[in-house]
Amino acid sequence: MATGLDVVDVLSGLVRIPSVNPMGQPVGPDDIYYEHRVTEHLADLFTRLGLPFERHPVAPLRDNLLVRVEGNPAPDKGGKILLLEAHQDTVPVTGMTIPPFEPEVRDGRLYGRGSCDIKGGMAAMLVALARLAKLPKRNKRPTVVLACTINEEHGFSGATHLARMFSRVEGHPQSQLLPRVPDAAIVAEPTLLDVVTAHKGTIRWRCHTRGKAGHSSQPHLGDNAIYHMGRVLQALDNYADNVVPHLDEHPLVGVPTLSVGVIYGGLSVNTIPDKCTIEIDRRILPGEDPEAAWKASIAYVNSVVPPETPTLHEAPFMQSPGLSDETNGDLADKLAAVAAANGGGGNKIGVPYGTDAPAYSAAGCPTVVFGPGSIAQAHTVDEWVAVEQLAAAAEIYFEFAKSWA
């Protein structure tokens, strides 16, 4: 069936436009950062399709974009609202072995940064939305709002802003296109066309040790902050191996985890370092309190590290709860059935990574995660998505939105 949009062409157009999330690092001189170019591209597309859309600034050069296809009956007359969501940002391109912004179709795959995570899912949603807009208005179906959000890769701030908007938080900007909590939401991520009903959450923070600088020829006159951090790392290693995995377990996502992913300190090899910093990642289970997990980790370190080790834990710089499968069962069953009938796996699964979904679930909207591609290809040096999965995803999004009511 002619859709007016071809999913490979749409995805190629998105991949060509850089929307790199700097991930908290200084922005370099090359003009590839933030989502604003993709936002402009999408706004032009929605204008050509004749669909109403809204831009909602979240941060400089970073706007959420909402577009709506009316359903029958309208939401103010008892009709339902289905939210489709995909984030606009990608991870950085350092170390890629393919041209990141030159999409290439080869051997049934489309290569390029964001092709899998998550511009492929966004392209499939755009094709489905264009098809829905062409359906006769007399057909009974939900109103569909597609939200293209910012900053999923480093903080979920776009999803948080959107959830506060449709939750009608006092003093927060409001939306005419999404005036209330949706009846259901599907978040695009690479799930191999299975339905994710549960996933882990995250809390991340920095820990510092302090010392006294000195010359390396007389190390006894200084106080080595890196040695202090070594004791903290030993404590965290033991906590990660012997405590955290035994705290609890979820049948779909397994056990909680803790890891240290960044360490830096010191000025030169011949200077005793007076400070050292690490960044800690604690993955939490659905229903687990992020702040409680953070406090428990700090309490353990403080109980093990000797008092003469000066340790400072910052407040978390990122946190998101896990996605619970307690309230999305009916939505998951229906989407899984549509997926299985249209080229998808249709399995209901849990995953260890995080997404925007908990922001919407916490606001009272049943939410699942679903999209083309595999997480194994996300963030890779030669990122790609299978074209067959793209086409199937577009069909599944369309068929589900057309029939769900």
Task: Summarize pLDDT for 7-61 with one digit per residue, the tens.
Answer: 999 999 999 999 999 998 888 777 899 999 999 999 999 999 999 999 999 999 9
Look at the block and give the residue holding tokens 């909207």.
365
Q: Could you count the other beta carbons within 10 Å of the beta carbon of residue 164?
A: 17
Question: Is the C-alpha dihedral spanning 173, 124, 114, 264 positive or negative?
Answer: positive
- The alpha carbon of 74 is separated from its chain's Cα centroid by a whole number of angstroms, namely 30
pLDDT at 200 over 50: yes
In the chain, where does the domain assigned CATH 3.30.70.360 lie?
A: 201-320
* Mean predicted confidence (pLDDT) in 358-366: 97
Q: At 41, is the secondary structure helix, strand, or coil?
A: helix
Q: What is the mean pLDDT of the chain?
A: 96
User: Is the preceding omega at residue 375 within 30 degrees of 0, hence cis?
Assistant: no
Q: What pLDDT shows up at residue 348? A: 98
Q: What pLDDT shows up at residue 325? A: 97
Banded pLDDT at 385 (limits 50, 70, 90): very high
Q: Whole-angstrom Cα distance, residue 385 to residue 403?
A: 27
**pLDDT digits 0-9 by tens, 147-199:** 999 999 999 999 999 999 999 999 999 999 999 999 999 999 999 999 999 99
pLDDT at 265 over 90: yes
C-alpha distance from residue 352 to each of 201, 323, 374 (Å)? 8, 10, 13
Burial class (CB in 10 A: 0-12, 13-18, 19+), 107: exposed
Type of residue at 219: P
Q: Whole-angstrom Cα distance, residue 115 to residue 86?
A: 13
Type of residue at 223: D
Q: Whole-angstrom Cα distance, residue 244 to residue 267?
A: 34
CATH classification code of 201-320? 3.30.70.360
If you count them, how many residues does the chain have? 405
In the chain, where does the domain assigned CATH 3.40.630.10 lie?
A: 7-199+323-403
Look up residue 127 and give its two tokens. Answer: 């094709």
Around 118, how many Cα atoms within 13 Å sit in the side-chain half-sphere? Answer: 29
CATH classification code of 7-199+323-403? 3.40.630.10
Question: Is the C-alpha dihedral spanning 63, 67, 73, 77 positive or negative?
Answer: positive
For 291-358, the DSSP string reads: HHHHHHHHHHHHHHS-TTS-EEEPPPSEEEPPBPSSS-HHHHHHHHHHHHHTTS---EEEESS--SHH
pLDDT at 102 over 90: yes
Give the closest residue to 1 by CA, choosing from 132, 98, 125, 104. Answer: 132
pLDDT at 1 over 60: no
pLDDT at 97 over 50: yes
- 48-72 b/e with 16+ CB inside 10 Å = b? ebebebbebebeeebbbbbbbbbbb
Banded pLDDT at 4 (limits 50, 70, 90): confident
* Mean predicted confidence (pLDDT) in 303-314: 93
Look at the block and give the residue holding tokens 């996300």.
378
pLDDT at 104 over 60: yes
Q: Whole-angstrom Cα distance, residue 62 to residue 242?
A: 41
Which region holds residue 266: left if phi is over 0, alpha if psi is between -120 and 50, else beta?
left
**pLDDT digits 0-9 by tens, 230-244:** 999 999 999 999 999
Strands 367-369 and 184-187: parallel
User: Residue 356 — φ and ψ, nearest 5°?
Assistant: -70, -15
Q: Kindly state the DSSP code that residue 26 receives in the 8-state scheme.
A: P
**pLDDT digits 0-9 by tens, 132-150:** 999 998 889 999 999 999 9
Least confident stretch, 40-49, 78-87, 99-108, 135-144: 135-144
C-alpha distance from residue 274 to each of 224, 307, 390 (Å)? 6, 17, 52
Q: What pLDDT shows up at residue 24? A: 86
Q: Kindly state the DSSP code that residue 90 receives in the 8-state scheme.
A: B
